[in-house]
Every structure is written in C-alpha cells, then in structure tokens.
Amino acid sequence: MDAVSTAAAPPSANLTEWQRSTALVWLGRGVPVIPCSRTDKGALVPGFGRDATPKQLAPFSDPEQVRAWWSGRFKRAHVGLLTGRSTTGGRGLVVVDCDMPKDGAQPLEGRWAGCHGGTDVLELLATEAGADFPDTYTVLTPSGGLHLYFEQPDDGPLIGCATGDGTTPPHIGPMVDVRGVGGYVIAAGSYSNAQGRVYERVSAPDVRPQPLPGWLLEILRPAATAAPSRPPLPTCLYVPGQRATREERAAAGALEHSVHQVEVAHEGERNRRLFSSARWLGELHETAPNVLDETTVREQLLAAALRSGQREREALKTIRSGWERGLSGRGVGAA
C-alpha cells in the first residue's frame, strides 16, 4: 500500500477536490471508504457494521458512489477507511489507535503508572513481551495520537473493535482503541478545517501495514476454547457386590444408542432427535435408575448435541423438556 502524500494542508478552496482524490486513492488500494463528519468524525452513511451483508457494503467500494459522495452532499467530509474489509479479496486492516489524554484526565496508576498516552501503554506492553515497538504504516492524528496499521491475520477469527481498557480481547489498555471488522479510522491525507491539520503519514514511504506481531495478536484475539470432552459411557454396570441386572445392561445400551443418534443427526433433525432421545431415556428411567439418572443422561446427550453443532443453551432446554415428558409417561404411545 503506497503512502498518501501529506506534505501540506490543502487550501480550503480546493478541499472538495483534495478529499475526493484522497478517497479514490485509498479505494484504489483496496480499502473501502466512508464519508465522516468534519467535527466529531462520526460516520455519515450507515450499513457498514460487523454483521453488514455484501449488498450493504457494496456502496463503500463503488468508485461512482464515492465520487458522488465527495462531489455533492459530503464534498468536504473526512475520508474514513472501513477496517477489517478489503475490496480486492486480500486482507483487510486492523488499526491500533493510540490516543492522547483528555484535558483534566487523572494520571494512570498501577500497571500503567508513568504512561502519558496510548503510545506509552503500547510500548510498555511491547517491553513486557520482550519485543520492539511495532514498525508498521503509521499515521499522526491532529490531536497528536498515532494510528498503527496492520494486516488482519490470515488464519483464525478476524479482529473486531474495542475501546480503551477492558478484560476481554481485543481490548489492549487505557487510551488504546482497536478498529477492526465493523469499524473505521480517518485516512492519512484527510483534512478538516475544524481540526486544522491533515492526518499525516509519519512512517517511511516504503513501509506498508505489517502482519500483527505475535505478542500483540495474543492480546487482540482470545485463546481457542477446547472442545467439550465426551463423558464416559456406562456400559455393563455393576452394583456393589452384584453383577448388573438385565434392565441395567439394557438401559446402558439404550443410552449409548441415543448418544450416537444425537451425535450423527443431520441439520434440520437435530433438535427433534435430541428431544425424542431424552424422552425415551426418561421413560426407561424407572427400569434402571442407577444407570439412567438425570445427571448422566443430561451430560451425555449434551456432549453429543454440542458435537453435532447445537448450541448449549437450546440443547439443555430440549433435553430437560424431553426428559420431563418421558418421566411423566405422556410420551408413551403418543401419535
């Protein structure tokens, strides 16, 4: 991605041409653009959120629409870049936004004591990781903050958005925002009379957005959650001092069969099969209560349901409903 020239602020008389040219340059680099307010930087066009459809996103990558925006109603608007998206099928952007403290803000304490802005926070995290401060495409904002541009990861989930400190990814720390899928930043080269300065690239001309360094990716993306393990299946159970009865062996076989049926169920029949299995085992409960106790049935059917792709909350509700129907005997002989 080439850098936008930001050698000087544009004359206000040519601001429309300047902004339109900036928008088209970024669009030519595969980055969708969006008009934003010259004062508060808010997006002026809807439809770009994290769950936006390709149809909703299409206007932000349409050169004719972009020309129309910056020739008419939004002719002096800031040029925003949609992060997490690409018009060329390549990797989108994730931008780490290091802010400056607001007037009157209290000094940071604890782990962040001595940090006077988002750049200091990010530098502290890099030092703790034994790494250098990231060398990537970097933009100086009119308020004195920095935007660090990175490529979205090429595997695993994409990075979303977060603001400031927080306990869950992709939060980084105080005065550091993250703009990924569903977000945007003001582009290098964009200008506003209200702010009086261009968003200026300060990295070397040959520096491009880099892959996220490993230490930063670990902060931005949650660790993979291990798949739920399958509880052991009771087979031929024994009661103290005595071999299992015929009923107990039959109940264990029924449970094993039900678990298999739920696990291999196809989409569209999963919930029905889960309910009928729970109901059947509920009907058999009285024949072998030591084998078909409620906890064992629930855990084993839930494990099978999760492996088949069902959601835990809905699966638990279905199991409970089927089990209670089976215990009541209402399911026996039902049409």
Summarised one tens digit per residue, pLDDT across range 47-86 is 999 888 889 999 999 999 999 999 999 999 999 999 998 8
Higher pLDDT, 1 or 221: 221
Using alpha carbons, list the distances in angstroms from residue 28 to 31, 36, 37, 60, 314: 7, 19, 22, 12, 46
Q: Rounded distance, CA 92 to CA 89, Å?
A: 8
Judged against a pLDDT cut of 90, whether residue 10 lies above it is answered with no
- pLDDT value for 11: 56
- pLDDT value for 8: 52
The label of the residue with tokens 């206000």 reads: 12
Residue 82's DSSP bridge partners are: 184
Q: Rounded distance, CA 261 to CA 257, Å?
A: 6
The 10 Å Cβ neighbour count of residue 31 is 27
- For residue 192, the SS3 value is strand
Sequence-separated (6 or more) residues with CB below 8 Å from residue 104: none
- pLDDT value for 243: 65
pLDDT band at 192 (very low <50, low <70, confident <90, very high): confident
If DSSP states are collapsed to H, E and C, what string results for 27-45? HHCCCCEEEECCCCCCECC
- pLDDT value for 9: 57
- pLDDT value for 195: 76
Please report, rounded to a whole number, the percentage of residues in the chain having pLDDT higher than 70: 87
Domain boundary assignment for the chain? 12-220, 238-328
- For residue 303, the SS3 value is helix
Q: Tell me: the pLDDT tens digits for 202-243?
A: 999 999 999 999 999 999 987 644 444 444 444 434 343 356
